[in-house]
């Protein structure tokens, strides 16, 4: 069990997001406020806890950063002024850059989908799942 | 040339760690006028002081420079030592080489020359130091307590018992404060009124205590020993001498207004006493709600009052009194949590703050002591308590812990179980903090014996669903999302400073922290003193505080006040301003800026071209002058000097630093 948070993922995430997970005191308000926890395997505050403790491998397996819809409710509610959505974004970026490459591009969509989906959804989808 | 001695303190490693003491001593020997230089590990110790005293005698020193900590810390100590060696204490000068040098630097190469510069400046100033004498000031043997809550009451009783007169100024119509609003007190579950009202009565009946209720302090002038205070006694519209407290007036009064004492949960009459045990038991007419004052008719209270005590044309009365010392004990407010949209406070009658919920337990409260939902009057089955609403929240609330919420929530959950045995309580918390005698045991009793479910996590949203309030939260220990169909929600809203505390602070001369709580003079060693001599603070106006701490602090403040009052004379300020009347042009700008009213115009006669000429110049009353220096700055002709900090002395210091390099 890694108990140091001086791992690469945490450092990179901090650099990407400008957020320090050690500022969190685990009140779990983010999890209580998050509208999509039902689909997550780890609750948002648990993701932060894993970051604090450096459980990098477990984080790599978790679907939570990918489920996060970036609605920013967590950031608006957080009493420690942490922006969780940015942290999730940071984790996603680290993962994508580390091994997987782009997860999702225009080639993955049918012409009808491309036709029907709003531009904004496409752009944010590409941003979320690509390098 | 005076003979100066320089003494440099190591302060253990506090100074010696970052300042090369040996170098500093060597450099000091070369300052103009210095005939002796030495160092010691702790100059403030008995041995260190003896070293200074001996050197003064052996070397016939007539000026002393000590390179030590801030003069705030030990100037008094060293001046006393110098005086014991036969030197006027004001011939000693402190060079602050700790706070101003060693503590703020890490590099010995940088800190050492800076320390030497500071010492050189102090030595240059010391050469120009003169012997000064502090005037003696009379002490008015009367104390003023601002605020009549438990802190103010306790302080007043203690001062009165010590044999001194004390006035208590209370803004509300009755003394009692926040404690009067509480049903029970933790961790003993004493009935709050049962332990408070005897103290209220004791204060009211004590021959040395004078209660001035429904009044506010408007202005404070003067200084320790002689504060001149202007107090506005608001018009009660009732003659307190005639009134017998029979209560017929508020029984008959047809007009109603929201009750402040009941946190707005119920109505009171336009003529009212805030609560049944009010002291003094004299009603007040709320002129904004009274039909006679708003519409010009009614006057039922006047007709019904048996002793004819109603006085509609009573006016606010402003009077001035002199006090030797002031204790400020103005208490706290509860934050309005409506800014937390997710909790829905203010949008549903069954979402209450802790203090509002407290009133439901009280027999004279809005529900007559029945704990029921305000929406439908039914007893609640599930009550959710939420902790840290606005506390420990640097994003939207207060950074600090409000200290009392963990305990009063446990208390309310216990009381709820006793009043409504079928009720189940849930407490969402971040941490449970129960430091205090018997506190931890009390909280555990709530969890273990009263079946209160403690959920470690916060609430994300609350929304009404039919008769219920659905509380959507989380238990972070299990990692499970929790949804509770609650009947009531109680928010432990943050304890905050009174909204007008900065204003009172300005009037009395106390500074506040960033949350507007009053600042003590030292967080550990001067917990009830302020930076204004003779002004003390007690209770929750300093920081959130429970009743035992408040009472302890009130007694502490009372002792400080009594200590002052017991003195026949106080030593005044020796460093006072002095006018060179030959140069003074008589513009009297100094009189306008003096905060202590110490400067007044005076007419002098001068010889001029063979005759005499009368002209007006400024004069300083050294008993009133506090040595702030405002007048020396504003003086256009430079004819005012502050003794001990004269223009020549300050310039000598600047030269000593600037001309060196």
pLDDT per residue as tens digits for the range B394-407: 999 999 999 999 99
Interface test with A, best of B481, B482, B483, B491 (most A CBs within 10 A): B481
Same domain, A118 and A93: no
Structural domains in chain A (count): 2
Same domain, A48 and A34: yes
Read off the tokens for B282.
Answer: 């004299």
pLDDT score of A2? 47
Task: Provide the sign of the torsion angle of the four alpha carbons B529, B532, B537, B540, taken in this order.
Answer: negative
Q: Do domains B335-496 and B577-643 have the same CATH topology?
A: no
pLDDT score of B596? 77
What CATH superfamily classification does B136-234+316-331+498-565 receive? FAD/NAD(P)-binding domain (3.50.50.60)
Same domain, A25 and A73: yes
- B456, closest residue in chain A (CA to CA): A27
pLDDT score of A6? 54
Query: CB–CB of B168/B145 below 8 Å?
Result: yes
Q: Which among B26, B21, B27, B23 is positioned nearest to B8, based on CA atoms? A: B21
**Which residues lie across from B228 on neighbouring strands?**
B221, B322
Task: Give CA–CA dist B657/A32, Å, rounded.
Answer: 61
SS3 assignment, position B124? helix
Does A46 map to a domain?
yes
Quickly state the pLDDT bin for B661 (edges 50, 70, 90): low
- The third-level CATH classification (topology) of the domain covering B4-128 is Rossmann fold (3.40.50)
Question: Tens of pLDDT along B322-335?
Answer: 999 999 999 999 99
Q: Do B393 and A26 touch (CB under 8 A)?
A: no
Same domain, A96 and A113: no
Same domain, A92 and A117: no
Does A77 map to a domain?
yes
B-chain CB neighbours of A31 within 8 Å are 457, 460, 474, 476, 481
Quickly state the pLDDT bin for A9 (edges 50, 70, 90): confident
Q: Do A32 and B479 touch (CB under 8 A)?
A: no
- Please check whether residue A53 touches B, CB under 8 A: no
HSE of B37, CA atoms in CB hemisphere, 13 A? 20
Does A1 map to a domain?
no
Query: CB–CB of B541/B147 below 8 Å?
Result: yes
Query: CB–CB of B166/B604 below 8 Å?
Result: no
- Please check whether residue B337 touches A, CB under 8 A: no
Query: What ipTM score was computed for the predicted complex, to two decimals?
Result: 0.77
Q: What stretch of H or E contains B125?
A: helix B108-128
Task: Give CA–CA dist B436/B410, Å, rounded.
Answer: 14
Quickly state the pLDDT bin for B610 (edges 50, 70, 90): confident
Same domain, A52 and A38: yes
- For the segment A94-116, the average pLDDT, to the nearest whole number, is 82
A4 pLDDT exceeds 80?
A: no
pLDDT score of B198? 97
- The third-level CATH classification (topology) of the domain covering B577-643 is Alpha-Beta Plaits (3.30.70)
Quickly state the pLDDT bin for B35 (edges 50, 70, 90): very high
Quickly state the pLDDT bin for B265 (edges 50, 70, 90): very high
Lowest mean pLDDT among A111-120, B86-95, B207-216: A111-120
CATH of domain B335-496: 3.50.50.60
What phi, psi does B447 have (nearest 5°)? Answer: -75, -40
Same domain, A83 and A115: no
Q: Do B459 and A31 touch (CB under 8 A)?
A: no
Does A2 map to a domain?
no
Q: Which domain holds residue A124?
A: 104-131
B572 pLDDT exceeds 70?
A: yes
Same domain, A20 and A76: yes
Using DSSP bridges, classify how beta strands B569-571 and B136-138 pair: parallel, antiparallel or unpaired: antiparallel
Question: Tens of pLDDT along A49-83?
Answer: 999 888 888 998 999 999 999 999 999 999 999 99
B10 pLDDT exceeds 90?
A: yes
Does A3 map to a domain?
no
Interface test with A, best of B344, B392, B427, B476 (most A CBs within 10 A): B476
- Please check whether residue B388 touches A, CB under 8 A: yes
Where exactly are the structural domains of chain B?
4-128, 136-234+316-331+498-565, 236-314, 335-496, 577-643
- For the segment B431-452, the average pLDDT, to the nearest whole number, is 95
Q: Which among B126, B24, B223 is positioned nearest to B649, based on CA atoms? A: B126
């Amino acid at each position: 069990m890694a108990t140091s948070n001086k791992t690469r993922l945490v450092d990179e995430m901090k650099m990407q997001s400008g957020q320090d997970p050690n500022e969190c005191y685990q009140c779990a308000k983010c999890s209580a406020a998050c509208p999509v926890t039902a689909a997550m395997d780890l609750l948002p505050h648990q993701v932060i806890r894993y970051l604090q403790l450096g459980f990098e491998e477990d984080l790599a397996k978790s679907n939570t950063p990918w489920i996060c819809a970036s609605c920013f409710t967590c950031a608006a509610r957080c009493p420690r002024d942490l922006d969780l959505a940015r942290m999730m974004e940071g984790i996603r970026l680290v993962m994508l850059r580390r091994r997987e490459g782009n997860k999702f591009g225009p080639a993955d969509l049918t012409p009808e989908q491309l036709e029907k989906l709003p531009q904004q959804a496409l752009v944010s989808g590409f941003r979320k799942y690509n390098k | 040339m005076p003979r100066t001695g320089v003494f440099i303190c190591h302060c253990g490693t506090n100074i010696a760690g970052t300042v090369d003491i040996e170098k500093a001593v060597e450099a000091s020997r070369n300052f103009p006028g210095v005939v002796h230089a030495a160092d010691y590990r702790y100059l403030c110790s008995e041995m260190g002081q003896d070293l200074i005293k001996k050197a003064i005698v052996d070397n016939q020193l007539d000026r002393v420079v000590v390179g030590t900590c801030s003069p705030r810390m030990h100037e008094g100590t060293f001046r006393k030592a110098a005086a014991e060696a036969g030197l006027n204490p004001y011939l000693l000068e402190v060079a602050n080489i700790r706070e101003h040098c060693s503590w703020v630097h890490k590099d010995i190469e940088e800190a050492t020359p800076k320390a030497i510069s500071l010492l050189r400046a102090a030595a240059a100033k010391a050469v120009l130091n003169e012997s000064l004498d502090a005037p003696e000031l009379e002490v008015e043997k009367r104390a003023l307590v601002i605020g009549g809550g438990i802190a103010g009451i306790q302080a007043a009783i203690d001062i009165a018992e010590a044999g001194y007169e004390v006035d208590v100024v209370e803004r509300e119509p009755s003394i009692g404060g926040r404690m009067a609003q509480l049903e029970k007190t933790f961790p003993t579950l004493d009935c709050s009124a049962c332990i408070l009202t005897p103290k209220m009565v004791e204060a009211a009946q004590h021959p040395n205590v004078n209660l001035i209720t429904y009044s506010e302090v408007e202005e404070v002038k003067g200084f320790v020993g002689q504060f001149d205070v202007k107090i506005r006694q608001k018009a009660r519209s009732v003659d307190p001498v005639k009134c017998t407290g029979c209560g017929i007036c508020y029984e008959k009064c047809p007009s109603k207004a929201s009750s402040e004492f009941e946190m707005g949960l119920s109505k009171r009459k336009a003529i009212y006493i805030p609560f049944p045990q009010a002291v003094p038991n004299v009603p007040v007419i709320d002129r904004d709600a009274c039909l006679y004052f708003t519409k010009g008719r009614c006057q039922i209270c006047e007709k019904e009052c048996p002793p004819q005590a109603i006085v509609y044309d009573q006016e606010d009365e402003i009077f001035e009194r002199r006090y030797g010392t002031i204790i400020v004990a103005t208490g706290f407010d509860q934050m309005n949590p409506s800014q937390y949209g997710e909790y829905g406070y203010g949008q549903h009658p069954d979402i209450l703050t802790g203090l509002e919920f407290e009133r439901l337990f009280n027999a004279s409260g809005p529900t007559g002591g029945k704990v029921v939902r305000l929406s439908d009057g039914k007893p609640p089955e599930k009550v959710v308590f939420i902790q840290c609403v606005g506390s420990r929240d640097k994003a939207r609330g207060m950074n600090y812990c409000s200290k009392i919420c963990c305990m009063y929530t446990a208390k309310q959950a216990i009381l709820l179980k006793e009043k409504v045995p079928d009720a189940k309580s849930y407490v969402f918390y971040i941490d449970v903090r129960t430091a205090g005698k018997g506190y931890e045991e009390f909280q555990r009793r709530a969890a273990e014996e009263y079946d209160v479910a403690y959920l470690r996590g916060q609430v994300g949203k609350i929304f009404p669903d039919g008769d219920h309030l659905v509380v959507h939260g989380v238990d972070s220990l299990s990692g499970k999302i929790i949804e509770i169909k609650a009947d009531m929600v109680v928010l432990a809203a943050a304890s905050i400073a009174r909204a007008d505390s900065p204003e009172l602070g300005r009037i009395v001369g106390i500074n506040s922290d960033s949350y507007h709580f009053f600042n003590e003079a030292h967080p550990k060693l001067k917990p009830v003193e302020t930076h204004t001599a003779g002004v003390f603070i007690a209770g929750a106006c300093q920081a959130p505080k429970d009743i035992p701490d408040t009472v302890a602090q009130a007694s502490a403040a009372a002792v400080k006040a009594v200590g002052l009052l017991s003195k026949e004379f106080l030593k005044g300020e020796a460093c006072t301003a002095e006018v060179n009347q030959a140069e003074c042009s008589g513009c009297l700008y100094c009189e306008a800026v003096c905060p202590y009213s110490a400067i007044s115009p005076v007419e002098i006669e001068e010889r001029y071209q063979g005759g005499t000429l009368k002209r007006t110049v400024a004069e300083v009353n050294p008993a009133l002058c506090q040595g702030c220096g405002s007048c020396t700055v504003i003086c256009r002709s430079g004819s005012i000097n502050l003794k001990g900090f004269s223009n020549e002395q300050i310039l000598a210091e600047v030269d000593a630093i600037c001309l060196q390099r």
